[in-house]
Chain A
């Protein structure tokens, strides 16, 4: 093994460790605004900045790498599990630092996303990660974005120190129920995952209180105009805590003294389709994580079969991309539109409609609330209309102050009328003579929607013929 390590070039290491890290989905560089400073490199924008888009259409914002793909654990779904025969590589902290600063100077990346397999033991791994970040922030004067994974079971002091250097931290929940975690990730326990999450949450709270901010993270401004959102301090419906393992006791309070501690908040990630969880369970867990741990984001990753194992789906199973897409749509409904998980799904209907997006689906089950009058309805009512988003609802509210809006105006404002027209009136009139009937509207909407979901499941299945590629005609004669 050692000889192999030495012979790998930097390029090979980078390829191996980027390849091993790519199944982690979080690549956002958002959540913190930081000005540049003379003498150091970089700044940060709260909106996040993408720097490229890879062939799978996912954004590349951060240099997403593992410190090492050497791992002592044997999680069934993971490509780096100890029982896999793959080439193992490990970066030195200096290598990572030069890569980050040189890439950043050329504007390739927005910062670093550092994760790692568990080398030797969690403490050693976390220490190596800490050394990397420390060098990067102090000796290399890097002022850009850093997202670091906390290693489950690592000592609390190391996690705390990592938090002072990073902008965002995350620990992957991976599987939302205890049983599937025990089955597929035998070395991890719910407690070992939730303990650091709670620890980071308390660190963030202390830091925020110490600089005079609210204890909880800022949410999108639309939430201020809505009632009954999941972020209200006293949520209307407290979820029963049995859905997710119980929150562990909080750790000792930090003495942060105003030093930024994970200012961009923490996130987590769940695998979709590796074990038998329903969409409802996933969404409930999502909501619980937002409410109980004040996470900034929950990510979903469609399970891609990498290992053969009797416990896992067969290797040729296509990744459940549509399901992942629906979950993200629902996640947005929770965070921006004031929906609750229980509005969208229930025990009886635990899966999303394949043909309709969650908001349309919800609207069709609540036709008693529609049609909504565009010139009168308040912001929260507008938000519930399919085809009207956060931006267009705000534009409607602002522009209708001066004069009445018509369908023509709505189209220009950015409302998707092909969905919205069934649910709205302008000055008391619908766009066409549309019966407000569930069966009729469903048929109409599905006709519109089917093409889109088919395209999601079969990307690039239909495309334009190309003389050069399909008939092998040489360019330049």
Chain B
């Protein structure tokens, strides 16, 4: 068995897929994996792949041409997931995709396609949750700052939505787990950036004392619930506990 390994980012994953495909070792004889490889197996050759932008664009172009734009979007969101097996899941789907074209997206009975769909669904559901449950707090200078700790790397997938929604506001969304942030200056395009520890700690102190609205919102949140219908299980179904960490009304 040959195992192709790569770092955990989009370019590396796509390059890894390209290299694995180009190796011509036979799809059955190879596997894709994220680095670091913590438990190396006997009888496996581990082949490290280096990100290469040319190979990346080739893979993207083939997905667009041979399957569809929708498939590329799904590949992208799968690559953002936190599941360590994701390169292999994407690879197994692409086998079908390149063989059957856009029809592959309807072949839900194939385990490889099904797994790919399930992974995509997990990420897009999480992205949707963050559209709903992101909370901004107001910082001095009319800057809105939000902290999230998502499982998948959702920043690039949520930012376009907020850019459309709050075009004329300064805002930023910070991923606490990955120390990355999307920054959107007023009336301009947003960009993705990495925060150094000093910036991060400066932005992590919530400055709410002079802001009356969080308290107003909490008051509203409490009064809008009907006591006779209380149902915490239903609430937990829709709003999982792990998402509540950064939500104003649960602080």
Task: Give the B-binding residues of A (Cβ under 8 A).
Answer: 10-11, 14-16, 18-19, 21-23, 35-43, 49-60, 63-64, 99, 102-103, 105-108, 302, 304, 318-319, 321, 395, 398-399, 401-403, 405-406, 409, 412-413, 459-460
Contacts and interface: CB of A to CB of B under 8 A. Distances in A.
B219 interface: yes
Contacts of A54: 221, 224-225, 235
B109 A399 contact: yes
Contacts of B132: 49-52
Contact of B107 (A23, A42, A402): A402
Given A53-B239, A55-B235, A103-B213, A304 B224 contact: no
A379 to B, nearest CB: 14
B171 to A, nearest CB: 8
Interface residues of B, number: 55
Nearest to B134: A107
A407 to B, nearest CB: 11
A399 B107 contact: yes
Nearest to A396: B108
B228 A106 contact: no
Given A49-B132, A56-B229, A14 B109 contact: no
Contact of B231 (A105, A402, A460): A460
Interface string B119-139: 000000000000111111110
B108 A38 contact: no
Contacts of B108: 395, 398-399, 409, 412-413
Interface of B is mostly: helix
B121 to A, nearest CB: 10
A323 to B, nearest CB: 13
A105 B136 contact: yes
Contacts, number: 167
A174 B46 CA distance: 69
B137 A106 contact: yes
A64 B223 CA distance: 11
Nearest to A37: B167
Given A18-B224, A51-B132, A51-B133, A405 B109 contact: yes
A60 B109 contact: no
A53 B249 CA distance: 10
A318 B249 CA distance: 28
A305 to B, nearest CB: 8
B110 to A, nearest CB: 8
A398 B117 CA distance: 14
B114 A412 contact: yes
A11 B137 contact: no
Given A11-B215, A403-B109, A409-B109, A64 B165 contact: no
Contacts of A37: 167
Nearest to A59: B238
B231 A57 contact: yes
Nearest to A47: B128
Contacts of A318: 228
A107 B136 contact: yes
B186 to A, nearest CB: 9
B225 A52 contact: no
Contacts of A107: 134-136, 146, 162
Nearest to B138: A106
Contacts of B219: 11, 14-15, 18
Contacts of A55: 225, 230-232, 235
A56 B249 CA distance: 15
Contacts of B103: 401-402
B111 to A, nearest CB: 8
B29 interface: no
Contact of A52 (B114, B136, B229, B247): B247
Contacts of B164: 35-36, 43
Contacts of B233: 57, 459-460
Contacts of A102: 213
Given A319-B228, A321-B229, 15 more contacts: A18-B223, A22-B223, A36-B167, A38-B187, A39-B168, A40-B168, A41-B169, A42-B165, A53-B234, A56-B229, A57-B229, A57-B232, A64-B224, A398-B106, A405-B109
Nearest to A321: B229
Contacts of A406: 109
Contacts of B138: 105-106
Contacts of B231: 55-57, 459-460
A15 B217 CA distance: 10
Contact of A38 (B165, B167, B221): B167
A40 to B, nearest CB: 7
Nearest to A23: B226
B210 to A, nearest CB: 13
The 5 closest A-B pairs by CB, nearest first: A57-B234, A54-B225, A56-B229, A459-B231, A398-B106
Contacts of A42: 165-166
B21 interface: no
A41 B107 CA distance: 42
Contacts of A10: 212, 216
